[in-house]
């Protein structure tokens, strides 16, 4: 595996007494008729404010769904399953429910459009043994694959991670402290950019298991990063998906991590 050394970070659980429950964020969830958790770790100005809606749920593990594309992209780059972001993978010709998936894709479009078949192909090429080794190397959630290498992070899969663990993983990626080449970590962070302004960059990844939606990532400001991890129930399925980014954006504006127009 790549050469970046892992440095010790204080687990969020170790400073749990410093977690601040945000009553105003509960109102944001209620206004959106949403049930879930949002954990934010604000590292601006060299500090660490840990803000949360539903602290108990923030420690509960769920399927990562397509948020797993972040570490999965690191795995395939490290294993040379993917050469770079320009390598094109031909569509297999199988018509799927999302029309944008029915085309050739590279790593960038695969991440942006959350193309499941592409990452299932990657999983087959990596194989169960390498997937397991990588999961354990980065201490990702419960690091369980089960017996279905094509679907272990998807609906009915065995892999689970909490909002707290998502942020611990993202912090290590932000600092290039994962056990992968720094160039690969920087590339994956580039693939995660979903918005930017004069003095901020938003990096993130959505996920949806069919029952549960995720939105994880961070905002980079000149004064430091603000990490976030939301998961929520999606009883109305796709009709609920837009709420993920909306709830997080509204909450981040309350602490001026995102500007009003973002």
**What distance in Å separates the CA atoms of residue 154 and residue 170, rounded to the nearest whole number?**
20
Active site residues: 66
Helix (H) or strand (E) holding 51: strand 49-53
Q: Which two tokens stand for residue 174?
A: 């932000």
Q: Which two tokens stand for residue 119?
A: 């990452």
Q: Which two tokens stand for residue 192?
A: 């995660």
Non-local CB neighbours of 258 within 8 Å, separated by 6+ positions:
200, 202, 219, 249, 252
Non-local CB neighbours of 67 within 8 Å, separated by 6+ positions:
161, 166, 205, 206, 207, 214, 216
């Amino acid at each position: 595996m790549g050469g970046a050394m892992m440095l010790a970070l204080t687990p969020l659980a170790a400073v749990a007494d410093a977690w601040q429950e945000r009553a105003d964020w509960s109102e944001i969830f209620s206004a959106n008729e949403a049930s879930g958790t949002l954990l934010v770790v604000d590292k601006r100005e060299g500090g660490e404010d840990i803000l949360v809606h539903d602290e108990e749920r923030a420690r509960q593990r769920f399927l990562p769904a397509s948020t797993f594309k972040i570490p999965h992209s690191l795995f395939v780059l490290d294993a040379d399953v993917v050469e770079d972001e320009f390598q094109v993978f031909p569509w297999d010709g199988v018509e799927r429910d999302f029309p944008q998936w029915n085309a050739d894709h590279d790593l960038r479009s695969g991440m942006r459009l959350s193309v499941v078949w592409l990452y299932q192909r990657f999983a087959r090429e990596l194989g169960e043994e390498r997937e397991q080794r990588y999961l354990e190397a980065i201490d990702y959630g419960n690091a369980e694959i089960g017996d279905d290498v094509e679907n272990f992070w998807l609906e009915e899969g065995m892999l689970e991670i909490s909002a707290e663990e998502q942020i611990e993983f993202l912090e290590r990626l932000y600092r290039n402290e994962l056990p992968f080449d720094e160039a690969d970590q920087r590339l994956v962070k580039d693939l995660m950019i979903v918005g930017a302004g004069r003095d901020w960059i938003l990096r993130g990844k959505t996920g949806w298991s069919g029952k549960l939606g995720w939105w994880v990532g961070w905002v980079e400001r000149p004064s430091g990063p603000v990490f976030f991890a939301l998961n929520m129930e999606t009883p109305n399925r796709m009709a609920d998906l837009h709420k993920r980014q909306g709830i997080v954006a509204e909450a981040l504006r309350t602490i001026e991590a995102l500007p009003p127009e973002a």
